[in-house]
Amino acid sequence: MPSPLPAADRLVCAVMAGGSGTRFWPLSRHHEPKQLLKFFGEKSLLRITMDRVAELCPPQRQLCVTAQRLVPAVQADLPDLGSNQIIGEPVARNTAPCMAIAAIVAQQMRPDAILVLLPADHFVADAARFRAALQVAAKQADTGKIVTLGVTPTAPETGYGYIEVGASLSKAEDGLFAVQRFVEKPDLATAQEYLVSGQYLWNAGVFVLRADTALRALDAHVPAVTSAFSEIRLSGLRPGSQAFAAALQVAFERSPSISIDYGVMEHESDISVVRLDAGWSDVGTWQSVVGLKPASSANFLHGPVIAQDCHDSVLISQGPLLAAVGLRHTAVVVTPDATLVLPLERSQDVRQIVAELQKLGRTDLL
């Protein structure tokens, strides 16, 4: 007899929405980073991420951890969340402090909370499968394990971290495995071996674990992080108050800057992974965006665009008419004050443009 799933109302989804996303310039800007962009119609990536999990984890059990400067925009984007559900990081300290504050606040909501930590800016084609994977993960997390999601690779990607899978921990359809090891971004030859082997999954940056497990793991491996947050943890201060904001300022300033992967995952020996086959993308560059076009369309189009004989291109305008002829595998992104054109295989070079604009003092365009 299968063991029952943990009560759904124990799930607290905390979305990490602090990224700056210069790789999507000129669409992404300092005050409108990637997670707030509306690539897919009327909703931002952040809003789509929240809506994707709402069936499992309705708005009253959602948290959003973002940069302080983005709080007003996030609040406008997520009107169903109260101001006590949106936490503005006073300074950027990578993701481990984010996990700490999310776990503390989740425990305030209920002490036996199971935390689902999600990046705000990924694409998932099949939301139902994604939720099913989260449910498998939550059940495993309820045993005290740290659980991550691993995406079945569809290409020898060199831009992702990988997870080597170990023993199967469930019946096949649940796709639950022990994590053998985490691997950093590989070179192309290694990525091709990984792809062929069937033993590696992409690290999707999704973590599912009980709030107490999270704090225990942080205490064990990055005590400087949890000690920075100890005042908030002990005081019971809740988001939305001035006292909380003041304590949060101190906590973030004191905390080291370290990621969940480096700070926690690499030091844990008993991590589980749930295999995810749901059409996932980290939407990392313009090149990855073209893969998200509808199958019926030759290009990824958004805004007023006339495309004649164009294929496999990203053609986006935020206002001015964009007319393109005869393009292949090219990105053209038009905004009222800046236009970007590059072959998609040069997508990484957006960073060079951003660096050049910084050098030129054109912060008005960043």
- Interface residues with its own copies (CB under 8 A) are 26, 306, 308-309, 317, 320-327, 330, 332, 334-343, 346, 349-350, 352-353, 356-357, 362, 365
CA 102 to chain centre: 14
Cis omega (within 30 of 0) on the bond before 26? yes
Burial class (CB in 10 A: 0-12, 13-18, 19+), 210: buried
Token digits of residue 8: 């759904």
By beta-carbon proximity to its own copies, the closer residue of 117 and 314 is: 314
Q: Which residues of 139-177 are buried (b: 16+ CB within 10 A; e: fewer)?
A: bbbbeebbbbbbbebeebbeebbbbbbeeebeeeebbbb
The C-alpha atoms of residue 77 and residue 45 are separated, in whole angstroms, by 10
Q: How far is the CB of 357 from its own copies (least distance, A)?
A: 7
Q: How far is the CB of 110 from its own copies (least distance, A)?
A: 49
Q: How far is the CB of 360 from its own copies (least distance, A)?
A: 8
217: Cβ contacts below 8 Å, ≥ 6 apart: 146, 209, 264, 268
Q: How far is the CB of 23 from its own copies (least distance, A)?
A: 13
Asked if 145 and 43 touch (Cβ cutoff 8 Å), the reply is no
By beta-carbon proximity to its own copies, the closer residue of 273 and 340 is: 340
* Count of CB atoms situated within 10 Å of the CB of 310: 20
By beta-carbon proximity to its own copies, the closer residue of 163 and 315 is: 315
By beta-carbon proximity to its own copies, the closer residue of 55 and 309 is: 309
78: Cβ contacts below 8 Å, ≥ 6 apart: 46, 47, 50, 59, 62, 64, 86
By beta-carbon proximity to its own copies, the closer residue of 206 and 307 is: 307
By beta-carbon proximity to its own copies, the closer residue of 294 and 319 is: 319
By beta-carbon proximity to its own copies, the closer residue of 254 and 293 is: 293
Q: How far is the CB of 155 from its own copies (least distance, A)?
A: 22
Q: How far is the CB of 29 from its own copies (least distance, A)?
A: 13
Q: How far is the CB of 32 from its own copies (least distance, A)?
A: 17
User: What does the DSSP assignment read for 3-50?
Assistant: PPPPPGGGEEEEEEE----GGGTTTSBTTB-GGG--TBTTB-HHHHHH
Token digits of residue 313: 């291109």
